[in-house]
Amino acid sequence: MTVTEAPSLPRDIGGKNVGRPIDRVDGPAKTTGAARYAAEYPYPDLAHAALVHATVSRARITAVDTAAAREVPGVIAVLTHENAPALKPPPAVNPLNLSTLVSGTSLNYLGTDEVHWNGQPVAVVVAESLDAAREAAALVRPAYAELPAIVDFAAHEGEATPQKGNMIMPGGARKGDAEAAVATAPVSVDLRFTTPPYNHNAIEPHATTAAWDGDRLTVYDSTQNIDWFRRHLALRFDIPLDSVRVIAPYVGGGFGGKGMVWAGTIIAALASRATGRPVRLALTREGVYRTVGGRTPSIQRVALGADADGRLTALLHTSVTRRGHVGGGPEQVTSQSRHLYDAPNILLEQKIVELDLLSNTPMRAPGESIGTFALESAVDELAGRLGLDPIELRMRNEPSRNPIDGKRFSHRMLREAYALGAERFGWSARTPEPGSMRDGRWLVGMGVATAYHPSLQFAANVTVRLSADGTVLVRCGMQEMGMGVATAQAQIAADALGVPFTAVRVEYGDSTLPIAPGAGGSMQTASVAASLLAASEKLKRSVLTLARRTGSPLRARRPEAVEARDGGLWEKAGPGETYAAILARAGREHVEVSVGADRGLGAAVGQARFMGKVLLDRRRWVKAACGAQFCEVRVDPDTGEVRVSRWLGSFDVGTVVNAKTAASQLRGGIVMGIGMALSEETLVDPRNGRIMNPSLAGYHVPVHADVPPIDICYLDEPDPTMPLGLVGIGEVGITGVAAAIANAVHHATGRRVRDLPITLDRVLPG
Amino acid sequence: MRSFAYVRPPDVAAAVRAIAAEPEAKFLGGGTNLVDLMREGIEAPATVVDVTGLPLTEVEELPGGGVRIGAAVRNAELAAHPLIRTHYPVLSQALLSGASAQLRNMATVGGNLLQRTRCPYFYDGAAACNRREPGSGCDAVGGLNRDHAVLGVSDACIATHPSDMCVALAALDAEVEVESVRGARRVPLAGFHRLPGDTPHVETDLAPDELVTAVELPPPAATTSRYRKVRDRASYAFALVSVAAALEVRDGTVAAVRLALGGVAPKPWRAHEAEHVLTGAPATEESYRRAAEAELAAAVGRPGNAFKIGLARRTIVATLRELEP
What integer pLDDT is reported at residue B62 of this predicted model?
A: 96
Contact A687 B233 (CB under 8 A): no
Q: Is the pLDDT of residue B222 over 90?
A: no
For residues A12 and B163, what is the distance between their CA atoms, to the nearest angstrom? 60
Sign of CA dihedral A90, A91, A94, A99: negative
The amino acid at A151? V
DSSP string, A704-755: GGG---EEEEE-----TTSGGGB---TTGGGTTHHHHHHHHHHHHHS----B
| B310 has a chain A CB within 8 A of its CB | yes
Residue B210 confidence (pLDDT): 97
CA-nearest residue to A760 within chain B is B232
Once rounded to an integer, what is the mean pLDDT over residues A88-115?
93
Alpha helices in A364-438 (DSSP H): 368-386, 390-396, 414-425
- All residues of chain A having their beta carbon less than 8 Å from the beta carbon of residue B118 are 697-698
How high is the pLDDT of residue A1?
32
Q: Which of A289, A642, A685 to mutate to test the interface with B (most CBs of B within 10 A)?
A: A685
CA atoms of A469 and A581, how far apart (whole Å): 9
**A66, A116 Cβ separation under 8 angstroms:** no
Helices (H), A567-653: 579-586, 600-620
A66, A227, B129, B131, B144 from A687: Cα distances, Å: 28, 39, 16, 21, 10
- Read off the pLDDT of residues A144-192 as tens digits, 9 standing for 90 and up: 999 999 999 999 999 999 987 766 666 789 999 999 999 999 999 999 9
Nearest to B292 by CA among B209, B237, B228: B228
CA nearest to B113, candidates B38, B195, B168, B50: B168
pLDDT, residue A3, reads 34
Query: In this complex, which of A131, A703, A761 lies closest to B1 when CB atoms are compared?
Result: A131
What's the pLDDT score for residue A494?
97
Judged on CB neighbours under 10 Å (0-12, 13-18, 19+), A507 is middle
Which of A443, A695, A761 is best to mutate for the B interface (most B CBs within 10 A)? Answer: A761
**Residue A553, pLDDT score:** 86
Residues in A whose CB is inside 8 Å of some CB of B read 55, 131, 134-135, 138, 638-641, 643, 678-679, 683, 685, 687, 690, 692-693, 697-698, 700, 702-706, 759-761, 764-766
Residue A679 CA, chain-centre distance (Å), reads 21
Neighbour count for residue B251 (Cβ, 10 Å): 7
8 Å CB contact between B247 and B97:
no
Local confidence band at B325 (pLDDT 50, 70, 90 cut-offs):
confident
Known catalytic membership, residue A157: no
B290 CB-contact burial (10 Å; exposed 0-12 / middle 13-18 / buried 19+): middle
Cross-strand partners of B254: B249
- Report the pLDDT averaged over residues B214-238: 93
Burial of A754 (0-12, 13-18, 19+ CB in 10 A): buried
The whole-angstrom separation of Cα A316 and Cα A314 is 7
B73-82 own/partner pairs: CB under 8 Å, 24+ apart: B73/B108, B73/B109, B74/B30, B74/B104, B74/B105, B74/B106, B74/B107, B74/B108, B75/B30, B75/B99, B75/B103, B75/B104, B75/B105, B75/B107, B75/B108, B75/B109, B75/B112, B75/B165, B76/B101, B76/B104, B76/B105, B78/B109, B79/B104
d(CA A20, CA A658): 5
- A96 CB burial (10 A radius; 0-12, 13-18, 19+): exposed
> How many CB pairs lie under 8 A apart between chains A and B?
78
* Chain A residues within 8 A of B3 when measuring between CB atoms: 135
Distance CA A698, CA A705 (A): 17
**In the predicted structure, residue B40 carries a pLDDT above the cut 70:** yes
Using CA coordinates, name the residue in chain A closest to B128.
Answer: A55
pLDDT over 80 at A474, yes or no: yes
- Is B289 in CB contact (< 8 Å) with chain A? no
pLDDT at A166: 67
Pick B41's closest partner by Cβ from A138, A692, A766: A138
**Per-residue model confidence as pLDDT tens digits over A230-263:** 999 999 999 999 999 999 999 999 999 999 999 9
Name the least confident of A27-41, A186-200, B96-110, B212-226: B212-226
> Smallest CA–CA separation between B117 and chain A, in Å?
13
What whole-number percentage of chain A has pLDDT above 90?
88
Collapsed DSSP state (helix, strand, coil) of residue A141: strand
Residue B226's pLDDT is what?
96
Under an 8 A CB cutoff, do B314 and A765 touch?
no
**Separation of alpha carbons A648 and A629, rounded Å:** 6
pLDDT in tens, A350-409: 999 999 999 999 999 999 999 999 999 999 999 999 999 999 999 999 999 999 999 999
* Angle at CA of residue A218, ends A214 and A221, nearest 5°: 150
Whether residue A9 is predicted with pLDDT greater than 70 in this model: the reply is no
pTM exceeds 0.95, yes or no: yes
Q: Which of A47, A28, A23 has its CA nearest to residue A211?
A: A47
- Set A376, A480, A537, A731: catalytic member: A731
Residue (of A559, A552, A557) closest to A582 by Cα position: A552
Residue A16: pLDDT band (50, 70, 90) is confident
Which candidate from A641, A692, A765 shows the least CB-CB separation from B144? A692
Across-strand partners of A346?
A175, A315
Kindly state whether B188 is in contact with chain A, defined as any CB-CB distance less than 8 angstroms.
no
- Please tell me if residue B1 touches chain A, with a CB cutoff of 8 Å: yes
Q: Which residues contact A614 (CB under 8 A, 6 or more apart)?
A: A457, A458
- To the nearest whole angstrom, how far is the Cα of B197 from the nearest Cα of chain A? 25
Report d(CA A398, CA A310) in Å as an integer. 12
Q: Read off the pLDDT of each residue in B17-37 and give the average, rounded to a whole number.
A: 95
Determine how β-strand B5-7 pairs with β-strand B47-50.
Answer: parallel
Nearest by CB to residue B236, choosing from A639, A703, A764, is A703
pLDDT score for A13: 59
A457 Cβ contact partners less than 8 Å away, ≥ 6 residues apart: A523, A526, A527, A530, A614, A617, A722, A723
Whole-angstrom distance, CA of residue A250 vs CA of residue A482: 8
Q: Phi first, then psi: what are they for A225, rounded to 5°?
A: -155, 70
Residues of A in contact with B236 (CB under 8 A): 697, 703
Where does residue A309 rank: exposed (0-12), middle (13-18), buried (19+ CB within 10 A)?
exposed
Of the listed ranges A158-167, A658-667, B194-203, the least confidently predicted one is A158-167
CA gap B273, B275 in Å, rounded: 5
Identify the pLDDT of residue A14: 60
Cβ contact A531:A460 at 8 Å: yes
Find the closest chain B residue to A56 by CA distance.
Answer: B126
Q: What is the longest distance spanned by two Cα atoms in chain A? A: 86
Q: Can you give the pLDDT at residue B265? A: 98
From chain A, pick out residues whose CB is under 8 angstroms from the CB of B127: 690
Q: A59: distance to nearest CA of chain B, Å?
A: 15
Sign of CA dihedral B241, B245, B250, B255: negative
Closest CB from A131, A687, A765 relative to B143: A687
Predicted local distance difference test score (pLDDT) of residue A4: 34
Residue B5: which residues within 8 A CB-CB, separation 6 or more? B46, B47, B48
Task: Judge whether residue A11 has pLDDT over 70.
Answer: no
Q: What is the ipTM of this complex?
A: 0.97
Q: Do A685 and B232 touch (CB under 8 A)?
A: no
Q: What is the pLDDT of residue A6?
A: 35
Q: What pLDDT score was predicted for residue A8? A: 43
Element (H, E) at A334: none
- The residue in chain A having the minimum alpha-carbon distance to the alpha carbon of residue B40 is A138
Question: Model confidence over A197-215: pLDDT tens digits?
Answer: 999 999 999 999 999 999 9
Helix, strand, coil % over all residues of chain A, rounded to 5? 30, 25, 45
Per-residue pLDDT band at A96 (split at 50, 70, 90): confident
Q: pLDDT grade, residue A12 (50/70/90)?
A: low
> Distance from CA of residue A417 to its chain's centroid?
23
Give, as one character, the DSSP assignment of residue A155: G
For chain A, give the mean pLDDT: 94
pLDDT in tens, B54-89: 999 999 999 999 999 999 999 999 999 999 999 999
> pLDDT value at position A167?
60
Least confident of A83-97, A409-423, B158-172: A83-97
How open is the CA angle A186-A195-A56, to the nearest 5 degrees? 145
Residues in chain A: 766
For residue B157, the one-letter residue type is C
Q: Enumerate residues 6+ apart whose C-beta is below 8 A from A392.
A: A310, A383
φ/ψ of residue A613, rounded to 5: -65, -40
B183 to chain A, any CB pair closer than 8 A? The answer is no
User: A654 by DSSP, 3-state: which?
Assistant: strand
